[in-house]
Amino acid sequence: MTGTGDAFSGPTADPATHGRRHQMTPDEWGEQGWESVNILMNMLAIDVPMISAVNGPAVRHAELPIMCDIVLAADEATFQDSGHYVGGLVPGDGVHVAFQLAMGYNRARYFLLTGQILNAAEAKDVGLVNEVVPRERLLSRAWELAYQLMRQPELNRRYARILLTELLRRQMSELLPYGLALEGLALLRKG
């Protein structure tokens, strides 16, 4: 999994809208919540190892690359949650699970509540990234690792992925609907 162009995902938070009150109708939130649950749970249902190659800033939905089994980052990559708390939303669409499991509770809460931007080296230091490589080597390194993983028999690859994502899958299954409910309650407006 990688981004296109210079960024993995964006945009960054707009300081002019910091803490702005978002609003949706229950029907609008129902559709968005359904999509949020399904993208994360479907990603976890992929039963072969996944590699993310973070080619640049991952500032929106940075939980997606860190949910992969191997996370590579270009040396100029950054990680942020620009779309939730600093953007006026409760961080309940899976970021609350993925980041706490990947970087620990205290670091994740600080990261999510402050809109902290981590560079690639810092992301590696806190456990979000496995390797930092020059951008021009990013995809070739991802392919090297993919070929290495492919040397194992198919059942080893599949069962390893299932086993190594089980804790994340269970936590998402239990806490994602709760997080989305709280996020939704904070932004609902009358229809």
Q: What are the b/e assignments for 46-55, b being 16+ CB within 10 Å? A: eeebbbbbbb
- Determine which one of 28, 31, 63, 144 is catalytic: 63
For residue 2, give both structure tokens: 């990688």
> Are the C-beta atoms of residues 87 and 179 closer than 8 Å to each other?
no
131-133 and 118-119 as β-strands: parallel, antiparallel, unpaired?
A: unpaired
C-alpha distances (whole Å) from 62 to each of 26, 95, 112 are 26, 8, 11
131 in active site: no
User: Which residues, 6 or more positions from 157, have their beta carbon under 8 angstroms from its beta carbon?
Assistant: 48, 49, 149, 150
For 125, other C-beta atoms within 10 Å of its C-beta total: 14
Alpha-carbon 66 to chain mean position: 5
Tell me which residues are annotated as active site: 63
